[in-house]
């Protein structure tokens, strides 16, 4: 069933996705299992966009499907900043990348987990990320990108933080299709993830271990 959901998402079969998701709920699949299946399909859509098989309208359609899924009562992700946050995350999609579905899922789950999330949006330049880091004083910077050029701009952001002498005062988590173990070393990040639940779990672990020195 979960594989069928992923396939339907990849094919952008809106009505079929909704039907399969509702059936999966009825059969007892958890919110996490369903969201992860949907995310896996969305990741493939991202691959297709990067290699030219899909265009911007296809990305938009994938976003519409995701939004419709979250309208199903048992799958709604709370999107409210907690009164007493366990930490602050500065979130963005890096420069020259307009893909934000995975980022939006991460944001919702991070908020549900008790984080204060400052979402800078898409196509965020390294200099803006530096300025907002100084202004917002986050514990964690979470950067997303599906583009193969994403790591280059993530590295630029990291290098700016280093040049200002504040890199060791914040953790950096990178995510999206352009990230992998080698990218962590290249960028200078602390960790990467392609799974939103895993990513939020890493952030919670960092905060439980004392986070990082505040700016």
For residue 81, CA distances in Å to 87, 103, 159 come to: 11, 16, 30
Provide the mean pLDDT of the chain: 89
Map tokens 């997303």 to a residue.
144
Q: What is the pLDDT of residues 36-64, one digit of tens each?
A: 899 889 888 888 887 889 988 998 898 88
Structure confidence at residue 43 (pLDDT): 83
212 token code pair: 């990082």
Identify the domain containing residue 142 by its residue range.
87-208
136 shares its domain with 168: yes
Q: Say whether both 199 and 112 belong to one domain.
A: yes
Q: pLDDT confidence of 80, banded at 50, 70, 90?
A: low
Whether residue 62 is found in the same domain as residue 106: no
Question: What is the structure's pLDDT at 213?
Answer: 53
Confidence of residue 13 (pLDDT cuts 50, 70, 90): very high
Distance CA 142, CA 106 (A): 9
Regarding whether 198 and 99 lie in a shared domain, the answer is yes
Higher model confidence: residue 6 or residue 70? Answer: 6
Based on the fold, state whether residues 140 and 193 are members of the same structural domain: yes
Same structural domain for residues 94 and 27? no
| Residue 103 and residue 186 in one domain | yes
Alpha-carbon distance 90 to 162, whole Å? 17
Q: Residue 161: which CATH number?
A: 3.40.50.280
**Whole-model pTM?**
0.81
């Amino acid at each position: 069933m979960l594989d069928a959901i992923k396939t339907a998402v990849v094919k952008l079969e809106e009505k079929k996705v909704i039907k399969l998701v509702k059936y999966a709920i009825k059969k007892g699949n958890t919110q996490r299992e369903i969201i992860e299946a949907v995310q896996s399909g969305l990741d493939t859509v991202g691959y297709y966009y990067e290699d030219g098989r899909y265009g911007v309208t296809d990305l938009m359609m994938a976003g519409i499907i995701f939004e419709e899924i979250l309208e199903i009562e048992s799958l709604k992700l709370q999107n409210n900043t907690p009164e007493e946050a366990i930490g602050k995350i500065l979130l963005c999609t890096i420069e020259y990348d307009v893909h934000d579905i995975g980022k939006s899922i991460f944001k919702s789950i991070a908020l549900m987990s008790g984080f204060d999330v400052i979402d800078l949006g898409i196509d965020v330049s390294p200099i803006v990320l530096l300025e907002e880091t100084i202004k917002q004083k986050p514990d964690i910077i979470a950067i997303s990108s599906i583009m193969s050029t994403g790591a280059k701009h993530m590295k630029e952001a990291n290098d700016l933080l280093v040049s200002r002498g504040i890199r060791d005062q914040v953790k950096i988590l990178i995510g999206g299709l352009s990230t992998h173990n080698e990218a962590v070393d290249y960028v200078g990040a602390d960790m990467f993830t392609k799974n939103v639940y895993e990513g939020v779990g890493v952030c919670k672990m960092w905060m439980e271990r004392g986070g990082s020195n505040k700016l």
